[in-house]
Structure 1
Amino acid sequence: MADIQSIQQFFSFAFNRAQEFLQTNNVGATQFVVPLLAVFVVSRIVKYRQNLQAVSHIPGLRVLGHPIGLPGALLRTTWWNPIGFDYLWIWRNSLYKDYGSDTISVVPFGPTTGGPAIFSANLDVARQVAGGGHKSSFFKPENASRALLAWGMNLVAADKETWRKHRRVMGPAFNNNLYEMVWKQTLTTYREMVSAEGWSDKKEIDIPVIQQLTFKLALIIIGKCGFGFSFNWFAPPKSEGGKMHVQEALKIVSETYMISLFLPKWIKNLPFKRLRESKLAHEQLMEFMHSQVAERKAEIASGSSDLPEGRNDAFTMLIRANEDEGGKFQLDDQELIGNVYIMLFAGHDTTAHTLAATLGFLSLYQDIQEEVYEQIISVVGPDRDPAFEDYPKLYKVLGLFYEAIRMFPAAHLMIREAYEDTVLHIPNPHGHEGVTTVPIQKGLQVVIDMVGVQYNPRYFDAPNEYRPSRWYGTSGEASDSFSAFSIGPRACIGRKFATTEAVCFLTLLLRDFTIHPVMRPGETKQGWRNRVLDARFALTLGVADVPVKFVRRDKRTI
């Protein structure tokens, strides 16, 4: 309604004039409290009605603060704040059911940095807004990637032509030669881990936090295959200054990204331990990435064939591809650094968390372990090293990883914004045919809730159950429902890197050990699951600390 905007403008004008009058005439403030409060309330009502109109009055949440704006993005979900930043996880089984649709609206009525939005757990809606095609009316807004843009424009944060430029340069680095290297290095690193941790002669090994192993494994593999480092299980990489391991810096940056996003600079410089750690981690990581770009560019410019061993890694191939480009397709140094960070972060954080979740679920299901163990023995046997050629035959091992990332999707939000007036074709509730066409105004954000997608009964029977068999025979790639690595042309470029590492590692581990939960006195398996297999939010969605025990298997002959 045109008059709504006029009314709001009038109240805004009146509010400003009242403030000026108060200041210039030195009149007592109490005389203006009630009328000013009335102006504010009416103004918010008008704005609220505009917001409802923007989402076409789709049923949904009417909230004080937006969960992906300030202050909601800083607050957890509690009884007094029912939609904090983690509410999509907390209410994953009931949110859309309560409204009878897997597409709802979120409309704030209080002062917040987030405006009205449509939230959807529907894959058809996701495909309409995902972008990458020539007809999409949606783009990825900069505020959806603020945490990643701090290091420079990159493949994940870029959109449209900028994304195509980054994809053109990065694409050639991800190929079968790289994946074969990942397999071989994972095999070597597993052997190093067993030796270094003193497991060779042990029957049982208690591991209080499995992430201590999975994060180290993932860093070493991305270091060796992504960057050509020669370090091993004992010696993770450091920046040139040597003050902090790269793994430690990555962990701190991930955990303190809210500080980087929202706190003003003067607060970041206060002498508190966590703030000092965050600042040092950012400095050390940036120093490390600058040195890597400079080092590779110098090597390639020299034209020497005597490069260090392992320089067929993904990052060197990225630099080489970029140097071969010209004009508008070439990335500058800051863009290269942005992509260094994405490779480090995605290759480390996402894989490590998903492996931790996989091992946590496996510890609860001995029957699944035995089923997969039988396939491992039938394909690889009890003693020979698994080869990269075995990868497609170990589809049950791959299913373990796919099911874990379904239940803990690392990239839990996909945010898109309409750059023109358009429409969405929203499927009717599950069990009902047809779609409802909804007008979308320019500037409205549509948020794809990837947690909601993965727990949507439209796509998954018994979605709260860990069932790797969902992916047997399809291995995920052929399933329309597999979307935990995103969907469409913007699906994660490192997916095969992660799955190759995971399949090799899990094959070796499950052949040598069975996995069991480490429970508290009197705790049941269900109690352990409720306590341990819970989400933790940083830059990505991960899993809580997972305590498990490895018990060595008796060697089996074929």
Structure 2
Amino acid sequence: MFQVSFGLANVFFAIVVVFAGTRILDYMQYAKQTGYLPGIRSLVTPISLFGVLFPTSRWNPGREWQWQWRKDVYKRHGTETISSLPYLFGGPAIYTSSLDVARQIVAMKGEFYKTKEMTAITLVWGPNVFAANGDEWKRFRRIMNPAFATSTFASVWDETCRGFREMFVGQGWDGLESIDILDISPLTNKFALMLISSAGFGHPLSWDPRTPGSKTMSFGEALHIITHNLILRLVVPRIAYWLPIKRLQDIKEAYKIVRVFLLTLIDTRRKEFAAGAPAQNDVLSLMILSAENEGHLSMTDDELIGNTSILLFAGHDTLAMTLNATLGFMGLYHEYQEEMYQEVLAVMPTSAEFTFGNSRKLRKVQACFLETLRYFLAGFMWIRDTAEDIVLEHVGPNRDQRIAVPRGTPVVVDAIGLHHNPRLFPEPDKFKPERWYDAPESALTMFSLGTRVRIGRRFAITAGVCFLANLLRDWRVELLAPHGESRAEWEARYRRA
């Protein structure tokens, strides 16, 4: 008995020694692979299953380290580009909050690519421009460009106005002097969903998507279920959908309904175009028409669904969250809210002048929306893998160094770090819409950089500005703090994101 136990102890000790030795060698290799950059040292890497599952702590950066450590992580290491090395599980990565380095990562052709593991959540609907690389990305982008023209944004403006009116009527707010809203997010999510359906798919929804007396799920209900279960759809194995669990069955049914609806809509639009009918101004119709002109380089049905869905569902999330946060800032900073109100009155004094054509003059309203998006960024990581050995420039404490990065190394633009970088945005924790007065499109780095800039950025901006302008014409936003909570306490809680 003693001999057996002693033997097992030896085996266990040997396993521990081998594992420790292997990890030490891996750590040394990882340090070399990332150019011996200083940075985060933890038990597991942030880009790993363990890293995502557990909360942010000293030993596990977790999902929220970019936000929670944004004020000091780069300052502490004396550089805008750092490395992340795990002691136990995961691989190395380079993170940057430098605009110079970010431009290299996003703009380089062929040297970086997006892996399927990092874009899996976007592939639920099918191949799309967000997950594509190389020639496939170019083909997608060429076909999609005509769908994001001035006529599209004019339609977005009109549909936003319609949705705003329906929200007020549907909620029973007409004629009221004041409205208390404890949680605005269900309303902005619903509003953004209506906009997706109308401006995105050419299928207007009513504020109440349910069909009275119907036992089947409506298209609007299906969209609602999908937007609230994107992560669950990704992580739950397909075999689980055979289980009699209502939530999973609802998700399965919702995806089926939306897919069948979109396939039918694509077929209908193609037949209409073949018969000489003009294109409508929704994104899907314009993409179908553009794809039909590409011959053998056209998009398949799956590619049309994938590209339309990723743009619009991602835009839904960005729009809803940014509107929520903008209303919070308006309640905190009445001086900015008053400036926005006066601007709306000056630019659009009558309903006849409340047009998309005049919306470009709402520079202060747009600036407030953009500053909110900078502060509470929706897409907080732009992840690339190196497709070949490359050299990154502008790294180190003085941004005057170069490091060699071998093929297969993940390089991540920390978009939160970038947009809270005090060198780029002085006093980054202050809400300062004036940063964006008359800013050119190229300065709107919240929507990525260079050729990979988000094609739907003007869609989101148009909808956001229109929603805020509609609200400001008749309403003032005030804080509704819990009993006994001061303005400073409310603001501190709000800014924790």
Give 1:125's aligned residue. 101
> Is the partner of 1:71 in helix, strand or coil?
helix
1:149/1:438 Cα in 2 relative to 1: closer, same or farther (>3 Å)? same
Report the 3-state secondary structure (helix = DSSP H, G, I; strand = E; otherwise coil) of the residue aligned with 2:445.
Answer: coil
Map 1:283-362 → 2, pairs under 5 A:
283-302=253-272, 303-304=274-275, 311-327=280-296, 329-362=297-330
In the alignment, the residues of structure 1 paired with residue 395 and residue 252 of structure 2 have an alpha-carbon distance, to the nearest angstrom, of 44
Aligned CA distance change for structure 1 residues 353 and 93 (closer, same or farther; 3 Å): same
TM-score (norm 2): 0.92
Contact 1:360 1:533 in 2 (8 A): no
Q: 2 CA distance for matches of 1:471 and 1:391?
A: 16
Question: Helix, strand or coil: the match of 2:446?
Answer: coil
| Paired letter, 1:451 | I
Pairing partner for 1:57 from 36, 49, 54 = 36
The whole-number CA distance in structure 1 between the counterparts of 2:244 and 2:202 is: 37
The corresponding residue for 1:233 is 207
Post-superposition CA distance 1:232-262 (Å, at most 9, x none): 22337999853971342133323xx1x4444
Cα RMSD (Å): 2.5
Q: 1:507 to 1:244 in 2, by over 3 A?
A: closer
Q: Shift of the alpha carbon at 1:122?
A: 0.7
Unaligned 5+ runs, structure 1: 1-24, 536-558
Correspondence for 2:62: 84
One-letter amino acid of the structure 2 residue matched with residue 404 of structure 1 = T
- Letter of the aligned partner of 1:284 in structure 2? A
Structure 1 residues 140 and 279, CA, compared in 2 at 3 Å: closer, same or farther?
farther
The aligned counterpart of 1:486 is 448
Distance 1:383 1:337 in 2: 36
In the aligned structure 2, how far is the partner of 1:354 from the partner of 1:243? 25
Q: What is residue 17 of structure 1 aligned with on the other side? A: none
State the distance in 2 between where 1:443 and 1:527 align.
46
Cα deviation for residue 271 of structure 1 reads 5.6
CA distance in 2, matches of 1:236, 1:323: 34
Question: Does 2:359 align with 1:404?
Answer: no
Q: State whether structure 2 residue 481 is matched by structure 1 residue 516.
A: no
Instruction: Note if 1:454 corresponds to 2:419.
Output: yes
More helix by share: 2
Matched, 1:477 2:441: yes
On the 8 A contact 2:74/2:82 being kept in 1, the answer is yes
Q: Number of residues paired by the alignment? A: 491
Unaligned runs of 5+ in 2: none
Structure 1 residue 126 displacement after superposition: 0.8
Please tell me whether the aligned partners of residues 244 and 284 of structure 1 are also in contact (alpha carbons under 8 angstroms): no
The worse-fitting range, judged by mean Cα deviation, of 214-223 and 98-107 is: 214-223
Asked whether the equivalents of residues 388 and 407 of structure 2 are also in contact (C-alpha less than 8 Å), the reply is: yes
Report the secondary structure of 1:73's partner residue: helix
Q: What is the rounded CA distance, in whole Å, between the counterparts of 1:445 and 1:358 in structure 2?
A: 33
Give the deviation of 1:29 after TM superposition: 3.0
In the other structure, the counterpart of 1:18 is none
Tell me the equivalent position of 1:171.
145
Query: For residues 275 and 485 of structure 2, what CA distance do their matches in structure 1 show?
Result: 61
Q: TM-score, normalised by structure 1?
A: 0.83
Match of 2:14 among 31, 35, 39: 35
d(CA) in 2 for partners of 1:311 and 1:239?
31
Distance 1:320 1:225 in 2: 16
In structure 2, relative to structure 1, the CA distance for the partners of 1:245 and 1:26 (3 Å cut) is: same
Equivalent position to 1:495, from 443, 452, 457 = 457
Secondary structure of 1:204's aligned partner? coil
Please say if residues 413 and 449 of structure 1, whose CA atoms lie closer than 8 Å, have aligned partners that are also in contact: yes
Match among 118, 121, 143 for residue 117 of structure 2: 143
**CA, structure 1 residues 239+437, in 2 after alignment: closer, same or farther (shift >3 Å)?**
farther
Q: Alignment partner of 1:39: what SS?
A: helix
Counterpart residue number, 1:373: 341
Written as runs of structure 1 = structure 2, the 5 A alignment for 1:100-249 is 100-112=78-90, 115-131=91-107, 133-134=108-109, 136-235=110-209, 241-242=217-218, 245-249=221-225
Query: Alpha-carbon deviations, 1:400-456, whole Å to 9, x = none?
Result: 110011011111100111111110002443xx4x52010010111111000001100
- CA shift at 1:526, angstroms? 2.4
- How far 1:320 moved relative to its partner? 2.0
Give CA deviations for 1:324-380 in whole Å, capped at 9, x if unaligned: 3222x2222222221232133123111111111111111101111111111111111
Report the Cα offset of residue 264 of structure 1: 4.4
Distance 2:362 2:40 in 1: 44
Q: Secondary structure at the match of 1:172?
A: helix
What is the alpha-carbon distance in structure 1 between the residues aligned to residue 360 and residue 435 of structure 2? 16
C-alpha displacement of 1:72: 0.6
- Cα distance in structure 2, aligned partners of 1:243 and 1:386: 31
Amino acid at match of 1:343: L
Once the two structures are superposed, what CA deviation does each residue of 1:178-208 show, in whole Å capped at 9, x if it has no partner?
A: 1111111212222222222222211110111
Q: Is the CA contact 2:33–2:409 (under 8 Å) kept in the aligned structure 1?
A: yes
What residue identity is the alignment partner of 1:125? V
Tell me the amino acid that sits aligned with residue 43 of structure 2. L
Quote the offset at 1:532 in angstroms. Answer: 3.0
Give me the whole-angstrom Cα distance separating, in 1, the residues matched to 2:210 and 2:386: 44
Counterpart of 2:207 in structure 1: which amino acid? Answer: W
